[in-house]
Amino acid sequence: MLGGVLKKILLILLVVVVYQNWGKIERVLHPSQVVSEQTQAKANVVLYATDWCGYCKLTRRFLDQKGIPYKEFDIEKDAVARKAYEALGGRGIPLIDVNGTLIRGYDPDQVLAALK
């Protein structure tokens, strides 16, 4: 009986880890979908987000899938990041600064357009 419970717990942990790292896993499985190295070199991407935000998770996954390097700031845990977020106009998360272009919300097409 204990073995069955342990197997279920391990399976749940595995599912959680895979879910949290799906963007990185997908990048390994589908390297052709990664943004070009030239675009990556020009990328200056800053993500203002929180841990609990679903659209923030989607944004992280998208950036990871495309191999786009980014800096992330949690606006709930970092007071300096919160002030920077507010200085940029705040109003919702995620807020993504791509080479000076502000993108509000989860919008992969706008991120890719801002990188070009």
- Write down the pLDDT at residue 63: 94
Q: Give the chain's domains with CATH numbers.
A: 2-115 (3.40.30.10)
| Predicted TM-score of the model (pTM) | 0.67
pLDDT more than 90, % of the chain: 56
Lowest mean pLDDT among 35-44, 84-93, 105-114: 35-44
Segment 93-105 mean pLDDT? 95
- Write down the pLDDT at residue 31: 60
- Write down the pLDDT at residue 97: 95
pLDDT digits (tens, 9 = 90+) for 36-74: 555 555 679 999 999 999 999 999 999 999 989 999 999
- Write down the pLDDT at residue 71: 96
| DSSP characters over the chain | -HHHHHHHHHHHHHHHHHHHTHHHHHHHH-GGGSPPHHHHHH--EEEEE-SS-HHHHHHHHHHHHHT---EEEETTT-HHHHHHHHHTT--SS-EEEETTEEEESS-HHHHHHHH-
Segment 85-99 mean pLDDT? 92
- Write down the pLDDT at residue 41: 56
Segment 90-108 mean pLDDT? 93
